């Protein structure tokens, strides 16, 4: 654990959203300072609820509660089962039960200590309890640090689709300690890298080259490489959210690979692939579709797949009937009317939204695998 005197300088990015603005604080070793940080935000509050899961809580809950206690907080806890398959209304309702039992007021915060599933459900509970209470993101997975903790999307899954029930509810603070990644399973780390690489594919070819050049350093959790990856990912996410907070336009670019990826997750009942792995597979399919429709140059898919292989991500597309693919994608919340919305690429670093891809082309793409 890093001591206060050894702690590197913080990298802070400000999400500017008027009265909903907040800081994204990135600093190795900052987990033990979260109590004081939350106290500065809510100087008159006394209670809070920490939402975590059965994997993260044994590792970090005591440290967070000790930090909160030192800053004068009465910290209650709600521990959830771990895994995407538990991202349901029933599990979410357990957070509401804990909030009721803790009797939090409208000015007392929820703290989400965990990965994307914990963050999404805790944020959605905060959005609904007493018609909205504040919450703080303390992401402990790379995927959550580079993506899901930033931007205010909260939700639970439904049998008919991923994240179909939710709300836009911005946190009051995102508190990122990259050192917690040292306890992250290697598979989870790789899945998070897939979400980070996505920003390079969408809007920053230089960032994609950085991932290519630093792949080994990132897998080894090199401090400098990882800090840059997290900061640049948060910056890209924040810039897009500030331009389109509720996904009326360009924010949909962040869904590169997600239309196919969410279908993969749904068809495998959220048990075969981690979210980042499904996004990697979906991005490969989006790249091939971009090439086949004449938008992206030949070799785009090959270069992306080469990086995914270096990062240890899956690249083999699962086999399902075309009708199953189309049905799963038809339930995706990003679709407009009955059309299936895709994010495609003109090149690495230049993505765009396509609402008019013919079904025949999608069927031919699926058959090509």
Q: Do domains 4-183 and 191-221+228-368 have the same CATH topology?
A: no
Angle at 333 (CA atoms; ends 367, 317), nearest 5 degrees: 25
Q: Which CATH architecture has domain 191-221+228-368?
A: Up-down Bundle (1.20)
Backbone φ, ψ for residue 351 (5° rounding) = -105, 160
* Burial class of residue 363, CB neighbours in 10 A (0-12, 13-18, 19+): middle
Domain ranges of the chain: 4-183, 191-221+228-368
* Residue-by-residue pLDDT tens, the chain, 369 positions: 444 457 788 999 999 999 999 999 999 999 999 999 999 999 999 999 999 999 999 999 999 999 999 999 999 999 999 988 999 999 999 999 999 999 999 999 999 999 999 999 999 999 999 999 999 999 999 999 999 999 999 999 988 878 899 999 999 999 999 999 999 999 999 999 999 999 999 999 999 999 999 999 999 999 899 999 999 999 999 999 999 998 889 999 999 999 999 999 989 988 899 999 999 999 999 999 999 999 999 999 999 999 999 999 999 999 999 999 999 988 665 555 556 889 999 999 999 999 889 999 999 999 999
| Residue 266: both structure tokens together | 């749904």
Query: Which residues are annotated as catalytic?
Result: 131, 153, 195, 237, 247, 251, 255, 258, 262, 275
pTM strictly above 0.85: yes
Q: What is the 3-state secondary structure (H, E, C) of 95-157?
A: HHHHHHHHCCCCCCCEEEEECHHHHHHHHHHHHHHHHCCCEEEEECCHHHHHHHCCCCEEEEE
Phi-psi region of 163 (alpha: psi -120 to 50; beta: other; left: phi over 0): left
The topology under which CATH files domain 4-183 is: Rossmann fold (3.40.50)
């Amino acid at each position: 654990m890093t001591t206060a005197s050894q702690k590197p300088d913080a990298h802070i990015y400000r999400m500017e959203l008027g009265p909903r603005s907040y800081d994204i604080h990135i600093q190795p070793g900052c987990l033990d300072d979260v109590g004081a940080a939350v106290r500065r935000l809510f100087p008159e509050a006394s209670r809070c609820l920490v939402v975590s899961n059965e994997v993260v809580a044994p590792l970090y809950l005591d440290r967070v509660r000790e930090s909160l206690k030192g800053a004068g907080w009465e910290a209650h806890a709600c521990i959830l089962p771990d895994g995407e398959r538990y991202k349901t209304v029933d599990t979410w309702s357990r957070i509401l039960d804990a909030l009721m039992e803790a009797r939090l007021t409208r000015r007392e915060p929820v703290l989400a200590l965990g990965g994307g599933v914990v963050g999404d459900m805790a944020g959605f509970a905060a959005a609904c309890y007493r018609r909205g209470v504040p919450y703080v993101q303390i992401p402990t997975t790379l995927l959550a640090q580079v993506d899901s903790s930033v931007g205010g999307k909260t939700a639970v899954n439904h049998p008919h689709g991923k994240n179909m029930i939710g709300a836009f509810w911005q946190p009051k603070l995102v508190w990122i300690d990259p050192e917690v990644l040292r306890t992250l399973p290697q598979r989870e780390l790789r899945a998070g890298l897939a979400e980070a690489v996505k920003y390079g594919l969408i809007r920053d070819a230089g960032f994609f080259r950085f991932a290519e050049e630093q792949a080994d350093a990132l897998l080894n959790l090199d401090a400098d490489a990882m800090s840059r990856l997290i900061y640049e990912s948060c910056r890209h996410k924040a810039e897009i959210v500030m331009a389109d907070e509720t996904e009326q336009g360009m924010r949909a670019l962040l869904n590169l690979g997600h239309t196919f990826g969410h279908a993969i997750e749904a068809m495998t009942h959220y048990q075969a692939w981690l979210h980042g792995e499904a996004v990697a597979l979906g991005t490969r399919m989006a790249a091939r579709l971009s090439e086949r429709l004449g938008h992206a140059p030949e070799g785009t898919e090959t270069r992306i797949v080469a990086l995914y292989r270096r990062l240890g991500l899956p690249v083999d597309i699962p086999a399902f009937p075309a009708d199953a693919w189309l049905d799963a994608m038809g339930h995706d919340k990003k679709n407009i009317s009955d059309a299936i919305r895709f994010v495609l690429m003109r090149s690495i670093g230049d993505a765009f939204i396509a609402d008019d891809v013919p079904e025949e082309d999608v069927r031919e793409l699926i058959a090509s695998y």
